[in-house]
């Protein structure tokens, strides 16, 4: 049995994805191949969940528990340790709970493909990461491992966190001519608020041209207002769907499916 833990899971991608995957592989519910949604009002309920469901072999973790789940685990994969966030748990036969971060895997593989397909000579520019939340940390580590320089920007200069060593500026003070890869890690523009977009200045948006790469981790809608602004100026764009599929497949590999 597998599942997803989070606070609000009504719009979960994971249950449909894994249920269909089990069907394609002819893995039946009778054999225990089920994927369930477990809404937890608080992370402390995790221990009861594990106790009440001894057949659980793996879990995905979503907002707001990617960080707060860590004290409840026995081990962390080295990448999850660096990111300080977990979105996949493997439960061994002896009950050992190991935390992984497959957001990193999904993002890194999709970004490499995106940049290589659109820029055969490789990417030597600096990236700008919009947002400083949990997803931004996975993006940060992936960029480090790809040797891509980056800066962060958030809505408030007060959002600097101890585990980062970077300069954080208000959106309005950024000059995007210094950044040819712009990655939105915030939920701005996500359904149903599809008219929202990161508050870079209109002057900045006007500077975007065919030399820019825009990556939005949001995948619903397929093309966010942020991506539309870039596409209209000739930029190369990608949404978060490939990353989502990549992180799900990486979780399946960890679980041995």
- pLDDT of 238 over the 80 cut: yes
According to the model, what pLDDT value does residue 157 have?
A: 59
SS (H, E, C) the chain: CEEEEECCCCCCCHHHHHHHHHHHCCCCHHHCCCEEEEECCCHHHHHHHHHHCCCCCEEEECCCCCCCCHHHCCEECHHHHHHCCCCEEEECCCCCEEEECHHHHHHHHHHHHHHHHHCCCCCCCCEEEECCCHHHHHHHHHHHHCCCCEEEECCCHHHCCCCCCCCEECHHHCCHHHCCEEEECCCCCCCCCCCCCCCCCHHHHHHCCCCCEEEECCCCCCCCHHHHHHHCCCCEEECCHHHHHHHHHHHHHHHCC
Condensed to tens digits (0 to 9), the pLDDT of residues 156-189 reads 655 555 444 556 677 888 899 999 999 999 989 9
CATH topology of domain 2-100: Rossmann fold (3.40.50)
- pLDDT of 247 over the 70 cut: yes
Q: What is the CATH architecture of 104-242?
A: 3-Layer(aba) Sandwich (3.40)
Please report, for the chain, the start and end positions of each structural domain, with discontinuous segments joined by +. Answer: 2-100, 104-242
Condensed to tens digits (0 to 9), the pLDDT of residues 193-236 reads 999 999 999 999 999 999 999 999 999 999 999 999 999 999 99
According to the model, what pLDDT value does residue 12 have?
A: 80
Instruction: State percent of the chain over pLDDT 70.
Output: 93
Confidence of residue 120 (pLDDT cuts 50, 70, 90): low
Instruction: Tell me the whole-structure pTM to 2 decimals.
Output: 0.88
Which residues are known to be catalytic?
66
129-144 average pLDDT score: 90
Query: Are both 2-100 and 104-242 of the same fold?
Result: yes
More confident residue, 121 or 26: 26
């Amino acid at each position: 049995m597998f599942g997803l833990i989070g606070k609000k899971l009504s719009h979960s991608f994971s249950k449909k994805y894994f249920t269909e995957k089990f069907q394609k592989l002819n893995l039946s519910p009778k054999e225990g191949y089920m994927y369930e949604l477990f809404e937890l009002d608080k992370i402390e309920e995790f221990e009861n969940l594990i106790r009440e469901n001894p057949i659980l072999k793996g879990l995905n973790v979503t907002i707001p528990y990617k960080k707060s789940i860590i004290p409840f685990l026995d081990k962390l994969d080295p990448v999850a340790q660096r990111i300080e966030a977990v979105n996949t748990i493997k439960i061994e036969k002896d009950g050992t709970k190991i935390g992984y971060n497959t957001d990193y895997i999904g993002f890194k593989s999709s970004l490499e493909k995106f940049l290589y397909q659109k820029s055969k000579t490789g990417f030597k520019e600096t990236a700008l990461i919009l947002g400083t939340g949990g997803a931004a940390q996975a993006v940060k580590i992936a960029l480090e491992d790809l040797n891509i320089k980056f800066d962060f920007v958030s809505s408030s200069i007060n959002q600097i966190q101890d585990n980062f060593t970077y300069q954080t500026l208000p959106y309005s003070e950024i000059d995007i001519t210094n950044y040819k890869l712009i990655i939105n890690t915030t939920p701005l523009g996500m359904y149903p608020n599809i008219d929202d977009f990161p508050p870079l200045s209109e002057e900045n948006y006007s500077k975007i041209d065919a030399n820019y790469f825009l990556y939005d981790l949001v995948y619903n809608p397929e093309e966010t207002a942020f991506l539309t602004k870039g596409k209209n100026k000739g930029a190369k764009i990608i949404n978060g769907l490939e990353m989502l599929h990549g992180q799900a497949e990486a979780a399946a590999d960890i679980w041995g499916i």
